[in-house]
Structure 1
Amino acid sequence: MINKKLVKKGATLALALAITIPAVTPAFAASQNNNKIESVRFNGMQAPATIDEMVKTYTNATVDVKYINGKVKTFPLTYNYLFKSEDKVATVKGEKVPAGTPIDVNGNPIKDPSGTNGEYFVSDAPDSNSLLMPINGKLYMVTHYEYQTIDAAGQSAYGLVPASMSLTEMEQDKKTGELKPVNVEKIDFSAVDGLWIPCNGSLSPWNTHLGSEEYEPDARLFLNPTSKVRSQVETFSQFYFGDKAKANPYFYGYTPEITVGKNGKTSVEKHYSTGRFSHELAKVMPDNKTVFYGDDGGNTGMFMYVADKEKDLSSGTLYAATFKQTGTENGGSGDLQWINLGHATDKEVKDIIDSGITFNDIFETSDAPKEGFTAIKTYSNEGKVEYLKLKPGKEKAAAFLETRRYAAMLGATTEFNKMEGLALNEKDKKVYIAISDQSKAMEKDSTGKDPADHIQLPKIKAGVTYQLDLRGGQKDSNGNAINSSYVAPSMSGLVVGEDLPAADAYGNTANVDKVANPDNLSYSEAMRTLFIGEDSGNHTNNFVWAYNVDTKELERILSVPAGAEATGLFAADDRNGFSYIFSNFQHPGDEVEGKSITAVNKEELLKAVDEQIGINKTGGIGYISGMPSVTKMPKNK
């Protein structure tokens, strides 16, 4: 997510999509002699060129499916809606409310006090979707509603309104795979003090949803009663608890896990032992123990968690990476050394929080260099250099409540910029990670004033998608074995954006035929394809791309409305014999106003976005259909 969302007042709209892959009909299967699929190849679409195209969410891409007998069939892709976040489809205490309406600690829908008719808040930013494996024969989808851009009075509400998630029960057509929502319920976060800005998420190997809480409120600035952080957290607390005095920044910045029971009811727990930072998402490795994280923002870190037990993230060891640069070609490359930050259980960390601990209980501070103090620069404290000294006995509190700061003090790299989504390629033992904007702290420090300068890579505002190679037998920075077979000792550029020296006729400042500002990533094992969604102000229209890891072909498969962000990618290779790919988009029109667009009339474009979608009014969920089942592909292809 772009940091400007913390203050923007512009338009935001979200729309989700999915590529659904219906099963092959019996007649077609017979005509193919029941041959399995050998490979899948996406044929991309052109970038939109007219106002009509630039306003729509659409695809005219196709897919070539090659069967083992050598035959190839081409399938066109099309788009379908499910529901909008403004639609009154969610049931809350017997009342139908908009899907994107948040609920308070008592389960009541939260009203917008700036409204005139007692209306509820309605998030315009649906984000992550996880389509769970069938539970008792039913399909369920967890959806994030990330934030509220503006209130009914048109004022910025970002980060002030409690966030929410919903659980949607789906009806699936047994012949075509078509999905229809039959019930939507809001998920109760009262057991974990509410939900803070859930960005992307993932599905765990044990069929639970792992959410996120990004842009954690800074506990140091919170201590200043006149700070924006204090005001933000207290406003959030008033909306959620009905009491601003219950505000505590240490409640937020973790991985929430949502479990759906056999009866279709949800339970929620936050994993405090996974560390507190700007969680973009958590991606679990095939050992069911090792987890990699994105840390969104500027001057952020790379973190890894190794659980004590499989399928249980309630206790484990947290690590932070030190980046040791090895090259600048194709975006850049470097070795990763992992620093052990400590071990904890969720209960231990929550007990520390509930003790009433504050930032000043953990660190001593200085305004200038001082003996015994460590200079660091992180996303926290508004990115300013800090001089910190750990107080005696506060190692665990620092490691799990001030994870990024503590990591920097121990020598970990906190120079990553806009670290976003992650995806796993299980067969090749690779993790993909998106650096949406490779600039600022990832460039060489020309001032010589930063405490560290580990990363000195080329400036690429359009960003880079990296791959991390995974291995076992790795040791931490102290020479101790890491109990995982999925540790990343290195990373290197894979898909690189291209900045333009000047905007083109459509206002693009990055090459429109390459990925600009990769954000959400999702990988299909069956299709051997990495899907990349953009969060780009450098493309007038943002896109979803399909990158084949074998052929290295990159194809555009979706365009979202002008100024919108493509979010929430989620590839599900098999749900009752059908395959789906979900993705969301947000804030159509938002990034258009300041652009120099000569190919179309900019004012007419913005008017069309407002009239046809409803800027700042809603977000939506839908899917693209058209492909045969990829589950008929050979194993390990």
Structure 2
Amino acid sequence: MNKKKVIIPLLSAALLFPTAVNVFAQPHKPIEGVKSVEFIGMPVPATNEEKSTMYSDAKVKVTLKDGTQKTVELDYTSLAKPGDVINGKIVGAAVDINGNLITNKKGEPLVSPSPDANSLLSVNGKSGKLYMINHFESMPNNEFGTVPRALYLNTVQQDKKTGELKITDIEAIDFSKYGGVWTPCAGILSPWNTHLGSEEYEPNARAHEANPEKSSVTQFARNYYQDATAIGNPYLYGYTTEVSVHPNGEAKAVKHHSMGRLSFENVTVAPDNRTVYYGDDGGYVMSFMYIADKAKDLSAGTLYAAKFEQTSAENGGAGNLKWINLGHANDQEIKELAETLTFSDIFETTNDAEYAAANGFSHIKTSAGEEYLKIKIGMEKAAAFLESRRYGAMLGATSEFNKMETVTFNKADNKVYMAMSTIAKGMEENPNDPVDDIRLPKINAGGIYEMSLAERQTDREGNRIDSDYVPTKMEAIIVGEDIPQDEEGNRAHLDKIANPDNIVYSENLRTLFIAEDTGNHVNNVGWAYNVDTKELSRIVSAPDGGEVTGIQAIDNLNGYSYLMVGSQNPGNIGYIQLPPVNKK
């Protein structure tokens, strides 16, 4: 049974809290004159009901410059769960190239238990409708193997008096021009009001080519095209996706091939609307940056990969970043390469270390393992944008980050935050690896890193980088703490983060929201971290076994503020309503 509390609409706040000034009773106007915002955390889930429920018992205390204070209770509101039927359509259902439900042999639809990214947005138009795009990251085990994932467009109604949200319709978003969508993970609402999504864990093109008939990419293609003879193409997957929504509710999806191919967790965008930073999930992964040719247009640009030069091994470590130019491209030219090339068209390979050393092969280690590779003549651009991590490692970029998750931008302080779910494996000292740029003590509970930005930077070759927002330093600012397993089963300190995954920053609240994906806390929780006071507050808890996902901070939507948040396995899509303060 879902835990239920009374939702206190902000509209009636002045009546319930007589010390508050009238501004608290005006939901269509942000609260002005705010001195500070403090999240008051909730305890660790204790009862069986709390452990099995998505809920919040946290509070927010707003202090105005005249000393007036108000404390608002938070509450989690569910919008939908996988398998729900909305307007005759099934939430989280897999669909084929024609938009038809994919069913098992019993005729039952395959439904994802794993909702992830949420982008709630308003579009111009007389209807005044709101829309929300969400991802469904994985599908349950089934007799067909790998099944296409889904992005859904939700039509959302907002109660103008209370701010309450309701989904009234859903529609699967069409990716048929791109062969479907592969493992959509986190995402953000772009500064130009589109949804920027992801395709995580790009399929290994080398492994696919060695046995295409048994490849998960071929399983995917056969399920998507409903064709038992189809052979998949791994180079169709592993890109940033972008979805724009027309005021009439029509969604248009593209994949940005010029941003490179890797295990996208998500991206975030600098205030110039051109410079983009990546989260590359997995083991032995890489930090990337993309600089678009034009603002608000990610269809062409230059891709960079980072060389990490460690300066400290303390408290999660720190280092300087140097950037390697991988090349320039546009979406169309890389899409054409993706549709025609194979791995062996791009690379020569060998397993003989002595032969490799004598014949100009690069010795690298990435998420694909340890390899000896050599680029074939004229294939540099294909390597850069279809095999970005492999190519980056061949040029000397650091491919030792581990479980690099989401990134988010803090405009006021000119910082980028990056979640590293687990500081381990490639990030530990590994003298037998081809290179060993990162040498840190293991912190299984992971941490959050802060990247400092600078103007007038050059790449490794001394060429000017055409951006005023280039990361130059990276250091951990929050780390978890591993503990011996307690009697409940926790293996990380309960009052510290464990395996951070989704993160998002609120400019108005000066708060970094952190969602966990961990087996080291019995209940995954969401945190609020005040970047000024460094206070960490537990604000939401997922059911036992569930991952906290899909966080989006909305500072002002028609006078209301929200933290979109849900869970995976079990799945839930919902939100927490926040006081609409203005601290800018």
Same fold, TM-score > 0.5, yes or no: yes
Distance in 2, Cα, partners of 1:315 & 1:80: 40
Q: Structure 2 matches for 1:214-253, cutoff 5 A?
A: 214-225=200-211, 230-243=214-227, 244-253=229-238
Match of 1:575 among 548, 557, 573: 557
Q: Mean alpha-carbon deviation: is it higher for 134-143 or for 518-527?
A: 134-143
1:513 aligns with 2:513: no
Alignment match, 2:363: 375
1:180 aligns with 2:172: no
User: Aligned letter for 2:162?
Assistant: T
Does the CA-based 8 Å contact 1:149-1:156 persist in structure 2? no
Alignment match, 1:503: 485
Does the CA-based 8 Å contact 1:134-1:575 persist in structure 2? no
Alignment match, 1:491: 474
What SS does the aligned partner of 1:168 have?
strand
Does the CA-based 8 Å contact 2:408-2:505 persist in structure 1? yes
The Cα shift of 1:438 comes to 0.3
Alignment match, 1:440: 425
Does the CA-based 8 Å contact 1:21-1:578 persist in structure 2? no
Q: 1:406 to 1:310 in 2, by over 3 A?
A: same
Alignment match, 1:88: 85
Q: 1:78 to 1:26 in 2, by over 3 A?
A: closer
Distance in 2, Cα, partners of 1:311 & 1:25: 40
Does the CA-based 8 Å contact 2:212-2:231 persist in structure 1? no
What SS does the aligned partner of 2:475 have?
strand
Deviations 1:268-319 (CA, angstroms, capped at 9, x unpaired): 1100000000000111111000000111000000100000000000000000
Does the CA-based 8 Å contact 2:89-2:170 persist in structure 1? no
What SS does the aligned partner of 2:50 have?
helix
Match of 1:99 among 81, 91, 98: 91
Alignment match, 1:133: 122
Deviations 1:513-561 (CA, angstroms, capped at 9, x unpaired): 1000011001000000000000111111111000000000000001111
Alignment match, 1:393: 378
Distance in 1, Cα, partners of 2:101 & 2:395: 44
Alignment match, 1:554: 536
Normalised TM-score (structure 1): 0.86
Distance in 2, Cα, partners of 1:67 & 1:22: 20
1:455 aligns with 2:438: yes
Q: 1:22 to 1:266 in 2, by over 3 A?
A: farther
Alignment match, 1:284: 269
Deviations 1:434-477 (CA, angstroms, capped at 9, x unpaired): 010000110001xx321100000111000010000111111111
User: Aligned letter for 1:386?
Assistant: E
The Cα shift of 1:389 comes to 0.6
Distance in 1, Cα, partners of 2:109 & 2:115: 16
1:189 aligns with 2:141: no
Q: Which segments of structure 1 move beyond 4 Å, counting only runs of 4 or more?
A: 20-31
Alignment match, 1:71: 68
The Cα shift of 1:134 comes to 3.8
Does the CA-based 8 Å contact 1:523-1:571 persist in structure 2? yes
Alignment match, 2:54: 57
RMSD of Structure 2 on Structure 1 (CA): 1.9
Deviations 1:351-374 (CA, angstroms, capped at 9, x unpaired): 1122x2110010100102222111
User: Aligned letter for 2:345?
Assistant: D
Match of 1:111 among 103, 118, 139: 103
Distance in 2, Cα, partners of 1:68 & 1:195: 49
Gaps of 5+ in 2: 24-31
The Cα shift of 1:22 comes to 5.7
Alignment match, 2:28: none
User: Aligned letter for 2:203?
Assistant: P
Alignment match, 2:504: 522
Deviations 1:107-164 (CA, angstroms, capped at 9, x unpaired): 2121123xx2x1111111111000113432221100101111323xxx695xx01000
Q: 1:550 to 1:87 in 2, by over 3 A?
A: same
Does the CA-based 8 Å contact 1:21-1:580 persist in structure 2? no
The Cα shift of 1:634 comes to 4.0
Alignment match, 1:143: 134
Match of 1:258 among 243, 249, 257: 243
Does the CA-based 8 Å contact 2:123-2:246 persist in structure 1? no
The Cα shift of 1:242 comes to 2.0
Distance in 2, Cα, partners of 1:173 & 1:226: 51
Match of 2:521 among 516, 532, 539: 539
Distance in 2, Cα, partners of 1:26 & 1:201: 33
Does the CA-based 8 Å contact 1:419-1:435 persist in structure 2? yes
The Cα shift of 1:26 comes to 9.0
What SS does the aligned partner of 2:494 have?
coil
Does the CA-based 8 Å contact 1:566-1:586 persist in structure 2? yes
Normalised TM-score (structure 2): 0.93
Distance in 2, Cα, partners of 1:404 & 1:33: 55
User: Aligned letter for 1:300?
Assistant: V
What SS does the aligned partner of 1:318 have?
strand
Does the CA-based 8 Å contact 1:213-1:253 persist in structure 2? yes
The Cα shift of 1:77 comes to 1.1
Distance in 1, Cα, partners of 2:14 & 2:345: 70
Does the CA-based 8 Å contact 2:566-2:575 persist in structure 1? no
What SS does the aligned partner of 2:101 have?
coil
What SS does the aligned partner of 1:239 have?
helix
Distance in 2, Cα, partners of 1:402 & 1:83: 37
Alignment match, 1:350: 335
Distance in 1, Cα, partners of 2:447 & 2:580: 31
Distance in 2, Cα, partners of 1:430 & 1:22: 34
Distance in 2, Cα, partners of 1:296 & 1:85: 25
What SS does the aligned partner of 1:408 have?
helix
Alignment match, 2:546: 564
Does the CA-based 8 Å contact 1:444-1:453 persist in structure 2? yes
The Cα shift of 1:481 comes to 0.6
Distance in 2, Cα, partners of 1:315 & 1:22: 45
What SS does the aligned partner of 1:298 have?
coil
Alignment match, 1:594: none
Alignment match, 1:403: 388
Alignment match, 1:323: 308
Q: 1:226 to 1:359 in 2, by over 3 A?
A: closer
Gaps of 5+ in 1: 1-14, 91-95, 589-618
Distance in 1, Cα, partners of 2:187 & 2:506: 16
Q: 1:177 to 1:470 in 2, by over 3 A?
A: same
Q: 1:26 to 1:535 in 2, by over 3 A?
A: closer
What SS does the aligned partner of 2:46 have?
coil
Count matched residues: 563
Does the CA-based 8 Å contact 2:123-2:245 persist in structure 1? no
Distance in 2, Cα, partners of 1:367 & 1:515: 41
Distance in 2, Cα, partners of 1:584 & 1:54: 15
Q: 1:135 to 1:168 in 2, by over 3 A?
A: farther
What SS does the aligned partner of 1:349 have?
helix
The Cα shift of 1:102 comes to 1.8
Match of 1:38 among 14, 35, 40: 35
The Cα shift of 1:241 comes to 1.1
Distance in 1, Cα, partners of 2:110 & 2:422: 32
Does the CA-based 8 Å contact 2:509-2:583 persist in structure 1? no
The Cα shift of 1:330 comes to 2.1
Distance in 2, Cα, partners of 1:473 & 1:216: 33
1:621 aligns with 2:573: yes
User: Aligned letter for 1:47?
Assistant: V
Distance in 2, Cα, partners of 1:111 & 1:156: 10
Alignment match, 2:454: 471
Specify which structure has the bigger relative contact order, considering alpha-carbon pairs within 8 angstroms and separated by 6 or more residues: 1
